[in-house]
Amino acid sequence: MTVAPAATAPALRGARLRPAWVAAGLVAVAAAALAGLVMGPVSLSPLEVVRELLGMSTDLDARQIAIVEQIRLPRVVLGLLVGATLSLCGASYQGAFRNPLADPYLLGAAAGAGLGVTVVIVRVADGAATPGYVPVAAFVGAIAAVALAYALGAAGGGRASTASLILAGVAVASFLTAVQTYVQQRNQDTIRDVYVWILGRLSTSGWSDVWMLLPYALVCWVVLLAHRRILDVLAVGDDEAATLGLHPHRSRLMIVGAATLGTAAAVSVSGLIGFVGIIVPHTVRLLAGRSHRVVLPLSMLFGGAFLCIADLLARTLSSPAEIPIGVVTAFFGAPFFVLVLRSSRRTGVTA
């Protein structure tokens, strides 16, 4: 019995990214970015800002143009990059570990970065030399912590199961956090600096942070997006993935490696921004579908937009003071997430 494929086969389609969702994501990014550019202590006309960005003649004066191009634009771009990277890494971690609670900090990246930064701030307490070293310390600390967790998790049987990796990550994270707390308590005078960094903020140092983050973010994006189908295969578990011809441990190492690179770079410029890596991918999953072909790209778009808006709130709500962005992401993100969860249960979007 042969089924004539030509006439009917095109009706079959695997999971795919619907253009409408991509459009929605792009609109969200554009709207968030525009809001980030026009709002602040100095309000600007959206139309004029758009004209200026497009290189057309505008009514903005030189000071306003400087505000847009030197202060707000780099910060908006940084927010988009950091949000996209953290969301993408979170979605990839959740897939690679088949664990909905996984976030980019699962294997100790946050604790490692925290320790690195604390040590640098304490060592160079006078402040003048600090800014240059902090991102490097965060980057190195995050990567070292994940590498350590991976090595420990894989040490048992030579192969790293998801459970042994997660447990090793927990152990490494608590150990490094303990050391970090100890160092911090011994140096009370720097607690504030450390604390401010840990809560996360998008810095305002112009374009340099963007250029620093961009190469790592691009590598991370390309590698993780390329693994979108592999992540779907990993969803059936290591044993079955192996019978389908995959090397699950090898794939997971690639995914964790790329995600760690991106996370470490994001953390080094923004501090520890929590929650984005969990809430954005889950919201996308609930609304748009569970395949990683859908979840990964949409997480990037909506993650970028979300962090951009969060940063806007962080710097405007109690202006001129800044609320740490990590506080904003959790404060507004958590209730929103609960709403999405409830409404999707009711309408039965998810299984």
Binding site for another protein (CB under 8 A): 1-3, 5, 8-10, 12-15, 226-230, 232-233, 235-237, 239-247, 285, 289-291, 293, 350-351
Provide the minimum distance between the beta carbon of 298 and another protein in the complex, in angstroms, as a whole number: 15
Nearer to another protein, 13 or 346 (CB): 13
Whether the Cβ atoms of residue 16 and residue 289 lie closer than 8 Å to each other = no
Whether the Cβ atoms of residue 307 and residue 273 lie closer than 8 Å to each other = yes
Question: How is residue 185 written in tokens?
Answer: 């308590």
Provide the minimum distance between the beta carbon of 9 and another protein in the complex, in angstroms, as a whole number: 4
Nearer to another protein, 160 or 173 (CB): 160
Nearer to another protein, 129 or 242 (CB): 242
Question: How is residue 116 written in tokens?
Answer: 């690195």
Burial class (CB in 10 A: 0-12, 13-18, 19+), 59: exposed
Nearer to another protein, 109 or 278 (CB): 278
Question: How is residue 170 written in tokens?
Answer: 């927990």
Provide the minimum distance between the beta carbon of 288 and another protein in the complex, in angstroms, as a whole number: 11
Provide the minimum distance between the beta carbon of 98 and another protein in the complex, in angstroms, as a whole number: 8
Provide the minimum distance between the beta carbon of 26 and another protein in the complex, in angstroms, as a whole number: 22
Nearer to another protein, 198 or 296 (CB): 296
Question: How is residue 201 written in tokens?
Answer: 């903020």
How many degrees, rounded to 5, is the angle at CA 193 between CA 190 and CA 198? 120
Nearer to another protein, 79 or 289 (CB): 289
Provide the minimum distance between the beta carbon of 233 and another protein in the complex, in angstroms, as a whole number: 5
Provide the minimum distance between the beta carbon of 248 and another protein in the complex, in angstroms, as a whole number: 10
Provide the minimum distance between the beta carbon of 314 and another protein in the complex, in angstroms, as a whole number: 34
Nearer to another protein, 8 or 188 (CB): 8
Identify the three-state secondary structure at position 135.
Answer: helix
Nearer to another protein, 17 or 119 (CB): 17
Which sign, positive or negative, has the C-alpha torsion 102, 93, 230, 157?
negative
**DSSP one-letter string for 75-90:** HHHHHHHHHHHHHHHH
Nearer to another protein, 46 or 237 (CB): 237
Torsion of CA 160, 165, 171, 173, to 10 degrees: 130
How many degrees, rounded to 5, is the angle at CA 208 between CA 202 and CA 212? 85
Provide the minimum distance between the beta carbon of 277 and another protein in the complex, in angstroms, as a whole number: 19
Contacts 24+ apart (CB under 8 A), 233-240: 234/95, 234/96, 234/98, 235/95, 235/98, 237/98, 238/161, 238/162
Whether the Cβ atoms of residue 64 and residue 42 lie closer than 8 Å to each other = yes
Bond into 320 cis (ω within 30): yes
